[in-house]
Amino acid sequence: MVHATQNPILTTHIHTLFHPARPNHKPPPRTPHTLKIMPADQVRVLISRDQIAARIAELGHQITADVHADRRAAPQHTGQPRRLVVVPVLTGSIIFLADLIRHIPLKMTIRPVTISSYPGAATTTQGANIHGGIPTDLAGADVIIVDDILDSGKTLGLLRRMIQAQNPATLRIAVLLRKDEATGRRQEQVDVHYVGFEIGDDFVIGYGLDYDGEYRNLPDIGVMG
């Protein structure tokens, strides 16, 4: 049983929570390697957890710098600071989101949307379906859409149009993966501002990405078969 203890760091300024001094820090024990978690399945690691972690830190720093730069360039005169609203596309972006936002030391709110385009075991796009609506109060906000992967472009194309119609101050898109345009899979051109990794035509799983709803919990990004 692990007991919570009073932690003095919780009384410090919010920014220091992102970069606390960590005397005597020991790294946590590593989970067993992906390939041994699900012994019945053959998975080839395409992008390791360490590569993912390093790249996400870079993306977070870049996003933070860009939001600061935007605000300096176009200060608001309403007396209200501009809101940063992160819009993750569920379910595939959850792990990317969780890691990315911890590298963005700014006040933000998170407003998830649920969009499916790969019902069941399909591995090619079936067109995008939005479930449960999208946030409607994005006017004047700095909005960042976060998704796992840009493939046909239908999901992000649809969501970007719906959010742009609300006149946010800025609208940017971050994806962990982008399938190479040369694969011929892109059906809609979508400007993505932050890309973790470019990949080829593989159908990938892990780190949030699923096949038929499973494998999202693999710590690395892999290819089946």
Active centre residues (catalytic)? 151
CB of 99 to ligand IMP, least distance (A): 17
Neighbours of 132 (CB within 10 A): 9
* Chain residues that interact with ligand IMP, rule: CB under 6 A: 89, 92, 117-118, 125, 128, 147-155, 203-204, 209-210
Q: Rounded distance, CA 130 to CA 89, Å?
A: 10
Q: Is 92 in the site for Mg ion (CB under 5 A)?
A: yes
> What whole-number distance in Å separates Cα of residue 143 and Cα of residue 129?
21
Work out what residue 174 binds among ligand IMP, Mg ion, none; the CB cut-off runs from 5 to 8 Å by kind.
Answer: none
Distances (CA, A) of 78 to 68, 69, 107: 18, 18, 18
Smallest distance, Å, CB 53 to ligand IMP?
A: 20
Q: Which stretch binds Mg ion (CB under 5 A): 43-51, 87-95, 101-109, 166-174?
A: 87-95
Q: Give the residue at shortest CB distance from Mg ion.
A: 92
Pick between residue 90 and residue 169 the one whose CB is nearest to ligand IMP: 90
Binding partner of residue 128 among ligand IMP, Mg ion, none, CB cut-off 5 to 8 Å per kind = ligand IMP
- Residue 219 touches which of Mg ion, ligand IMP, none (Cβ within 5-8 Å per kind): none
CB of 138 to Mg ion, least distance (A): 20
Give one DSSP letter per residue of 165-217, joined into a string. TT--SEEEEEEEEEE-GGGS--SS----SEEEEEE-S--EEBTTB-BTTB-TT
Phi-psi region of 189 (alpha: psi -120 to 50; beta: other; left: phi over 0): beta
User: Which residue's CB is nearer to Mg ion, number 34 or number 152?
Assistant: 152
Closer residue to ligand IMP in complex, CB, 101/209: 209
**Shortest distance in whole angstroms from residue 63 CB to ligand IMP:** 19
Q: Is the separation of the CB atoms in 50 and 213 below 8 Å?
A: no
Q: Which of 125, 121, 100, 117 is nearest to 175 (CA)?
A: 100
Partners of 43 in beta bridges: 224
- Which tokens go with 72? 């300096």
* Partner whose footprint covers residue 151, from Mg ion, ligand IMP, none (CB < 5 to 8 Å by kind): ligand IMP
186 binds, among Mg ion, ligand IMP, none (CB under 5 to 8 A by kind): none
Question: Residue 110 belongs to what H/E stretch?
Answer: strand 109-110
Interface residues toward Mg ion, by CB under 5 A: 92
